[in-house]
Amino acid sequence: MTRDTTARTLGTGALAIADAQPRRAWGLAGQALELARVAHDPESAAIAERARGLAALHLADLDTALRCERAAVRLARRARNPTLAAEARMTLAYVLSCRGRPGRAIGVIDRACADLDGLQRLRADAQRGAILQQLGRLGEALDAYRDVLPRLRAAGDWVWTWRVLNNRGVLQVFRYHFAEALTDLREAEQLSEREGLGLLAAQVQENLGFAHSRQGAIPEALRHFQEAERRYRVLGVGVSSLLLDRAETLLSVRLAREARATAEQAVEELTRTRGGFKLPEGHLLVATAALLAGDCGTALPAARQAATAFTRQHRGGWSALARLVGLRCRLGQNLPVAVSEVVRIAAALDAAGWRLPALDARIIAARLALSRGRPAQARTLLADGIPRTGPAELRIRACQAVALRHLIDGHRRAASAAITAGLRIAEQYRATLGAPDLLAHVSGQRTELAEMGLRMAIEARSARRVLAWAERGRASHLLLTRARPPADPALATALTEVRAVVAELADARRAGRPVAALERRQTTLENRVRDHLHSRRGDYADVAAPATVDQLTAALGDAVLLEYVESDNHLYVLLVADGRVRLRPLGPVAAMTGLLEHLPFAMRRAAAGTGRSAEAAGTLLVSLGTKLDNLLIRPVRPDLAGRPLVVVPTGPLQSLPWALLPSCTDRPVTVSPSATLWHQAAHSQAARSQAAHSQAVGGTAAASPGAAGAAGSAQTGSAQLGSAQLGSVQAGSVQAGSDQAGSDQAGSDRAGSVRAGGIRSARWLAVAGPDLPGAGAEIEALRRLNPEAGVLTGEAATAGAVLAALPGAGLAHLAAHGTFRRDNPLFSSLRLADGPLTVHDLQTLDGVPEVVILAACDSGLSLVCPGDELLGFSAALLAMGSRALIAAMLPVPDGPSAVLMTTLHRELAAGAPPATALTTARRDLLTDGGPAERVAAAGFVCIGAGLT
């Protein structure tokens, strides 16, 4: 075989496999090019350069792709082969389009089409359709695909048939024609698998993920993205386009931090590979994620940069979308925006077929018109119907537009019905998601609707309606019920790996060894857990209906409920007592947040400081507590008398140590994410108490469904944790002394009795993590009160042992160093002998104890998402069925905390409800106590239904 024949063969072979194996194609084409140069064969060299350019395109090296395809055109012209030159121009045109030069790309592809006929002309027409699609000229692109697809099929040209099916599937997604999109993409998937087109098979997985994402099927989308990434990694190709799609999906469920990190990674890769066409999409996603997180300082310049680039690329719809993000930033910064500007953006988005952002723009324009006294203009901008099909977010926005239109017309009842319809759509959509963080963040889709209802009720001065709307928009993901969590060996393995690497990381830090590799490993493993859970479909029931005033009154008894709500940057409090609801305005939210910002610093200084520093911090704490008390409690103080309180906070109040307020220091206070969640727990406790009383007097009582749901795990687990099992878990535990006397022995006797409403009839569990000097005293005090308690300390206090024992306990005391992960709250943890026990670990359990005491710093903190949705240890335990928790809202001093816990357990053993027991323990600690004692007393909060 001659050299020129060999060059032609290698080059043609490289061209044939470039779509499936781009790295191998690059190597073969390089060999062909060298042979062609030695043989002075420009035709073979042109084929080789075209193959190299196509391989470089798939490998995201656009500079090299452009250089190779231009060389291919030159070589083909030198060989006087117009067909070969036209084929090279086909690929060159697409590379130019990807580099952000669509006008030039159209000229090049038109010239290629003029020099081709037969099958090559069909391919060129298909390529032209792809470039038109990139430009946003979807109708023209669809016409081109419709014309060439049957003829490509008839010719048996399966690679180009795949390309048309794949491109048309993506096009149909942008047109919201999801059934047609999935039909095309699934046919493309089957074709790529049948023909062994490795890279194309990976790309269609990415596009299936994109289609499912736009449709709102997030778990399915993420599964396809994971499969696409796996295939891309095997092939060694870039993943910038996949990163863009994933970032957009994360934004759709309001995961702003993760979306921004992913978009920034895409921007970095696109900048490195000079992916000019896609780069502004990355900047737009960064801007959108920053805007969602409230960072307008980052979002506005990024949006402007994207809009300018899209305009240069003649991509009008994309440019309008970037301008909409910039406009939102300006509104967030209280900068002037003209209604006409928003209307023009909405029209451009409509013309591009972008229905959801176009609707968003019209709602913004309508609100601006209303604020400027132009209701007639506002009304013309709003939709008058709700689509029955389409993505959930589009239908939710349509409900919002319809509600706003009804309000303009003065039809408040119709507006309320539209808001209710939108909330129902949001709840149905949310129930398809399986990961707790997705559930919490995606609730942001419903926040604006709930706020509309809340605003209507406040304007109507109807306290009962305010309560109803506040409850509909608050912490609702915690009210979703689910069946037993599915067995998930992959998750269990991943969490074990996380625990091992975190323990190794802690050892390395103590020893002064390098930790960068271990930190990267931790991040990789945590991301693997997150992605695995995000791809799980939901198995949740509908959210519970908000508790009524009558239901709350019956459960409250002599207690008072205070629910704080925010509307239009003003704070209000609802007081529920004695069958009545009263609404009181409290003033601007800024007054509250200003005080709360100083609180953590003062408490930390008081806890850790000495001498004058501690005393000064203590004085500041007293002052802050008094000011907050005047702001939050004084307007309703005459209605409280000495009654216990149920407090439902909002926003930054979720982390407030309420005992710091003088009005709360000496009364039982329990804090709940919502009144409905508190009522459910209180109602279940009442049912348990009635059942226990009936059994104690020899009667029988059928547990209510609510009681079974909340208490079943404790009863079942108690049977599972027999004496033999207790013997195994007590290895290495603190041993109680044999010379117990006086009150301790009496406490033990009381602990063994059964009392209605108490928790002593179920087994107690005490756990002490490492490096916590005061934990031993806490555990020993608990053992004296309840000798039958299960104890895990020392090397026995492993995550596995604790997780095995928790479902069988009625009360669990967990003393350990705690870490709250604001960046990833479901990896917040308690440090045990073998590493961290995380929120993710808890959520694998069948059940949790009825009462949990988290004697750990920051263990009561939660990340507050829109709609007061909470993520953290306390939120997870409440959602899983714990009735009450006692946890710290900040780092607390070890010694005083141990004293408080000793008194707390004595009171619990005597039958006191958790909130009452904590009040007594706090009172004892404050007697002649200094700043550290005051911090420990105020730092622990009772969360849940702690009054019973």
pLDDT digits (tens, 9 = 90+) for 164-223: 999 999 999 988 899 999 999 999 999 999 998 888 999 999 999 999 999 999 999 999
pLDDT digits (tens, 9 = 90+) for 215-252: 999 999 999 999 999 999 888 888 999 999 999 999 99
Backbone φ and ψ of 824, nearest 5°: -155, 75
The chain-wide mean pLDDT, for the chain, equals: 86
pLDDT above 80 (res 481): no
- pTM > 0.75: yes or no: yes
Which amino acid makes up residue 905?
A: H
Three-state secondary-structure class, residue 572 = strand
Three-state secondary-structure class, residue 564 = strand
The reported pLDDT for the residue numbered 902 is: 87
Structure token pair of residue 364: 């913004």
Measured between alpha carbons, how far is 905 from 893 in angstroms, rounded to an integer?
18
For the chain, the C-alpha Rg in angstroms (whole number) is: 32
Q: Report which listed range, 541-550, 590-599, 650-659, 894-903, is most confident.
A: 650-659
Confidence at 777, pLDDT banded by 50, 70, 90: confident
pLDDT digits (tens, 9 = 90+) for 2-41: 555 688 899 999 988 887 788 899 999 999 999 999 999 9
The reported pLDDT for the residue numbered 762 is: 64
The reported pLDDT for the residue numbered 832 is: 94
Per-residue CA distances from 624 to 520, 776, 908, 917 (Å): 41, 34, 31, 25
pLDDT digits (tens, 9 = 90+) for 733-757: 333 333 333 333 333 333 333 233 3
Per-residue CA distances from 623 to 492, 564, 606 (Å): 48, 22, 13
- The neighbouring-strand residues paired with 884 are 851, 944
∠ CA 347-350-355, rounded to 5°: 135
Query: How would you class 482 by CB atoms within 10 Å of its CB: exposed for 0-12, middle for 13-18, buried for 19 or more?
Result: middle
pLDDT above 60 (res 808): yes
The reported pLDDT for the residue numbered 725 is: 31
Confidence at 444, pLDDT banded by 50, 70, 90: confident
pLDDT above 60 (res 724): no
Nearest one of 598, 649, 596, 655 to 862, comparing CA atoms: 655
pLDDT digits (tens, 9 = 90+) for 274-298: 778 889 999 999 999 999 999 999 9
- The neighbouring-strand residues paired with 851 are 811, 884
The tally of CA atoms less than 13 A away on the side-chain side of residue 138 is 19
pLDDT digits (tens, 9 = 90+) for 302-344: 999 999 999 988 888 999 999 999 999 999 999 999 999 999 9
The reported pLDDT for the residue numbered 752 is: 32
Confidence at 536, pLDDT banded by 50, 70, 90: confident
pLDDT above 70 (res 642): yes
Confidence at 677, pLDDT banded by 50, 70, 90: very high
Three-state secondary-structure class, residue 237 = coil
Question: E-assigned strands of 754-905?
Answer: 764-768, 790-792, 811-815, 818-819, 829-832, 835-838, 851-855, 863-865, 869-871, 884-888
Stretch 460-469: mean pLDDT, rounded?
94
- H-helix or E-strand spanning residue 718: helix 705-720
The reported pLDDT for the residue numbered 230 is: 93
The reported pLDDT for the residue numbered 476 is: 77
The reported pLDDT for the residue numbered 799 is: 94
pLDDT above 50 (res 694): yes
The more confident residue out of 890 and 69 is 69
The reported pLDDT for the residue numbered 545 is: 81
The reported pLDDT for the residue numbered 422 is: 94
The more confident residue out of 698 and 678 is 678
Per-residue CA distances from 928 to 210, 605, 610, 905, 931 (Å): 64, 19, 17, 21, 10
Q: End-to-end CA distance of the chain: give it in Å, rounded.
A: 92
The reported pLDDT for the residue numbered 225 is: 95
Backbone φ and ψ of 373, nearest 5°: 75, 30
pLDDT digits (tens, 9 = 90+) for 827-845: 999 999 999 999 999 999 9
Stretch 697-717: mean pLDDT, rounded?
36
The reported pLDDT for the residue numbered 543 is: 62
The reported pLDDT for the residue numbered 739 is: 33
Q: Which residue has the tokens 């934990």?
A: 775
The reported pLDDT for the residue numbered 615 is: 82
Find out whether 381 and 365 touch, Cβ atoms under 8 Å: yes
Lowest mean pLDDT among 102-106, 548-552, 686-690: 686-690
The reported pLDDT for the residue numbered 362 is: 96
pLDDT above 90 (res 604): no
The reported pLDDT for the residue numbered 721 is: 29
pLDDT above 70 (res 460): yes
Using the Cα atoms of residue 490, residue 496, residue 499 and residue 502 in order, give the sign of their dihedral.
negative
The reported pLDDT for the residue numbered 823 is: 87
